[in-house]
Amino acid sequence: MSPSGTPISAADVAKVARLARLDIDEAQVVHFTEQLAKVMGHFSDIDALDLSGVGAMTQPFPLVNVLREDVEQPCLDTDEVLAAAPSSDQRRFRVPPIIGLDD
């Protein structure tokens, strides 16, 4: 059981895979659901803790704004960066159509 009271389901796993842009097939959904349910089962241990009045800790030390002087500095070489891309065109990254051809 998870802290929310219900174990993770195959439908949950299929949904998060979609949200995370991971194409996984039905057999993998079953496989991952089994593994993730076991891992999340362990997480119920923190249900025993009284966390009222405890502040969330997102970082080891408080973050502060870091600013630098607004002066021009060298940046990465555009040609070198584009050379590492799967596809580029007119000094830009090239991607497939944003909207599917059959939409």
Residues of this chain that bind other proteins (CB under 8 A):
2-4, 8, 12-13, 15-17, 19-24, 32, 35-36, 38-40, 42-43, 45-46, 49, 51, 54-61, 63, 66, 68, 76-77, 80-81, 84-87, 93, 95-103
Judged by beta carbon, residue 26 or residue 54, the one nearer other proteins is: 54
Query: What Rg value do the Cα atoms of the chain yield, rounded?
Result: 23
* Min dist. Cβ of residue 76 to other proteins (A): 5
Quote the tokens at residue 4.
């929310």
Q: Which of 57, 48, 22, 50 is nearest to 36 (CA)?
A: 22
Contact 91, 78 (CB under 8 A): yes
Minimal distance in Å, beta carbon 30 to other proteins?
Answer: 13
CB 83 to other proteins: min, Å: 8
In the chain, count of helices (H) and strands (E)?
A: 3, 2
